[in-house]
Amino acid sequence: MTAILFDLDNFKKVNDRYGHAAGDTLLKAFAENLSRSTRGSDVAARYGGDEFVALLPDCKPDDVQFILKRLNGLRVDVGGGMLPVSYSAGWANYIPGESAEDLLKRADAELYINKRASKVHAIV
């Protein structure tokens, strides 16, 4: 089992600049793209705010990159202009005996390491 956490980059700026309707459109588009990027046995959901989670049973560590690549290049129409969507992600593989909470905490820690390391934020 692999858990991937996603955080949309600069989401607050989208709401501030384009309005909450544009932010809602962006959230829906990302959710739909995430759902299409995962397998039928996977679970993908909004985790809260601008964060999403994907739970991937029987996922090999190298397969995570395939899902991430499928999410790249998303653009959303906000009032006639195409807005590129970028995200940060962190993932962790289940350790036998570990709680779901601990698995998600490890994925969250990786997410924020990757978010801080990223210099490019394509939204806005």
Mean of all residue pLDDT scores within the chain: 89
**Degrees to nearest 5, angle at CA 70 with 6 and 110:** 30
Residues annotated as catalytic are: 50
The rounded distance, in Å, linking the Cα atoms of 3 and 93 is 6
Confidence of residue 81 (pLDDT cuts 50, 70, 90): confident
Predicted local confidence at residue 90, as pLDDT: 96
Fold that domain 2-117 belongs to in CATH = Alpha-Beta Plaits (3.30.70)
Residue whose token pair is 């955080």: 7
- Predicted structure pTM score: 0.88
